[in-house]
Structure formats: structure tokens, C-alpha cells
Amino acid sequence: MTHDKGPVTDKKGIRKVKAYFEFIYNQGKPRLEKNMSLVNAALDMDLGEFNNWIDKERLIINLHCIQKELFPHKKELSPVKLFGLMETYLQKMVK
């Protein structure tokens, strides 16, 4: 089995990815409900067991999906804007 564009995995891997998405949703939703920006919400989150996963900047995209669900009236961000926010997140993580 494969998930998204990641490596080939098994049922255990699928369960880990599901746990990751549930974790992101449960951590991200309250932050977004407080009107935190995507970058600030991401920076505020302790990724715990998922902290060593690669491509942490994808968190911005995941949070944007949650934001669209919570606030469907808000304008969807363009891919260019989202990539910019991903870069901002990475730069602020390093500081």
C-alpha cells in the first residue's frame, strides 16, 4: 500500500499516518478557532512523536485544509501563497 506520494507501507504505516492526521486535526483545530495564522498555529504545536517526520512544512497545507473546513466562507489560499507560508514556517522554526 502507498499513502499519498510517500514510501510503500503496510497496515502499521497506514495507522501511523492516520494517527498523524488525527493529531494534526486535534492540535490544529483549537488554534485555528482562536484565529491564529497558519504559521503561528504550526509554530505553536508540539509535534511530539511526529517531530522527526520529514517535510514538516506540509503542516501548513494540513492546517489550511482544516481551516477551509472550519471557515468555508474564507478565501482559499493559492498554491503560491501556501508555498510562501511553508517557507516562512521553515525559516521561523530554525530561529
**DSSP code string of 3-19:** -TTS-B--HHHHHHHHH
Give the separation between CA 14 and CA 21, rounded to whole angstroms. 11
Q: What is the DSSP letter of 89?
A: H
3-state secondary structure 17-42: HHHHHHHHHHHHHHHHHCCCCHHHHH
For the whole model, what pTM was predicted?
0.87
Q: Grid coordinates standing for 20?
A: 498523524
pLDDT in tens, the chain (95 residues): 445 566 677 889 889 989 999 999 999 999 999 999 999 999 999 999 999 999 999 999 999 999 999 999 999 999 999 999 999 999 998 87
